[in-house]
Amino acid sequence: MSHYSSDMQWIDIGANLTHESFATDRDGVIERARSHGVVQIIVTGASIDSSTAALALARRHPGMLFATAGVHPHHAESLRREHLPQLAECLSQPLVVAAGECGLDYFRNFSPPDSQRRAFEWQLRLAADSRKPVFLHQRNAHQDFVAILREHRTSLVGGVAHCFTGGERELDDYLQLDLSIGITGWINDERRGNHLLELVPRIPAQRLLLETDAPYLLPRDLEPKPKSRRNEPMFLPHIGAVVARARGESLEACAAHTSAHARSLFGLPSSD
């Protein structure tokens, strides 16, 4: 790990820190992130329970941790109209900075597509009402996903295509929708992510965000790899180094503009 400098500040816009794999050393994970220049982390909510847990965790680490509140498409079938006031209440909290993770996932279809579309539209309305950006998930559902977003886009204050792994067409559609693009350690995987090396230079600096999606998506090129094979926010600068090289910019510039955009989109305070 040679990508840390005290002059750089990084922001991880998506980490699943409420995941059970962090249960025994969560505070250590947060401190390791801080020691590697990751000064702020947005903790992803994927269900009402995990959103509530993400908010509780953010409250224990003011200034560094923030949360999203939403229901992942995998859990869409369990979301009922009577749950929406609880979700809206969560979104009203200052430390909750985005609505989601929400969207469509036809790859696994853990929830039926019609349930996914209904839950997605509900959450886009909540995002509009809360005046908070939306944290978006899409897999194998691009056409429906974009069609629904186009219907709601004018009422949304912004959004990010979380964990972008798509191709040129998907990127163009998202940029035309004025969405931000979240890049993870997928770009570090020479088997699956090489196409992203060609696409990230096309993302405007004011639209590019970085995330680990920890504990998932451990960068494949990381050496030495942790014995647990668990991804952590401390590895965000390692991802940033690959992104910076692909864009032909310095590591310092990459850290500066991705962090500035994260603060702008999510309304994060300046870090001490």
pLDDT of 109 reads 87
Quick check: helix, strand or coil at residue 9? coil
User: pLDDT tens digits for 14-70?
Assistant: 999 999 999 999 999 999 999 999 999 999 999 999 999 999 999 999 999 999 999
pLDDT of 143 reads 97
pLDDT of 272 reads 62
Angle at 49 between CA 46 and CA 55, to 5 degrees: 80
pLDDT of 6 reads 61
**Lowest-confidence pick of 3-7, 14-18, 95-99, 175-179:** 3-7
For the four alpha carbons of 222, 23, 92 and 100, in that order, the dihedral sign comes to: positive
Q: What is the distance between the alpha carbons of residues 17 and 19, in angstroms, rounded to a whole number?
A: 5
Q: Could you tell me the pTM of the whole model?
A: 0.96
* Interior/surface letters 114-153, b for 16+ CB within 10 angstroms, e for the rest: ebbbbbbebbbbbbbebebbbbbbbbebbebbbebbeebb
CB 233, CB 38: distance < 8 Å: yes
The mean per-residue pLDDT over the stretch 252-263 comes to 97
Left (φ > 0), alpha (ψ -120 to 50) or beta: where does 68 sit? Answer: beta
Q: Where are the domains of the chain?
A: 10-266
Q: What is the distance between the alpha carbons of residues 123 and 15, in angstroms, rounded to a whole number?
A: 20
Angle at 48 between CA 93 and CA 268, to 5 degrees: 35
Give the CATH number of domain 10-266; options: 3.20.20.70, 3.50.50.60, 3.20.20.140, 2.40.50.140: 3.20.20.140
Structure tokens, 166: 């798509």
Cβ neighbors of 197 (< 8 A, separation 6 or more) are 187, 242, 246
Write the single-letter amino acid at 225. Answer: K
Residue 4 reports pLDDT greater than 60: no
**In the chain, count of helices (H) and strands (E)?**
9, 8
* Interior/surface letters 22-37, b for 16+ CB within 10 angstroms, e for the rest: beeebeebbeebbebb
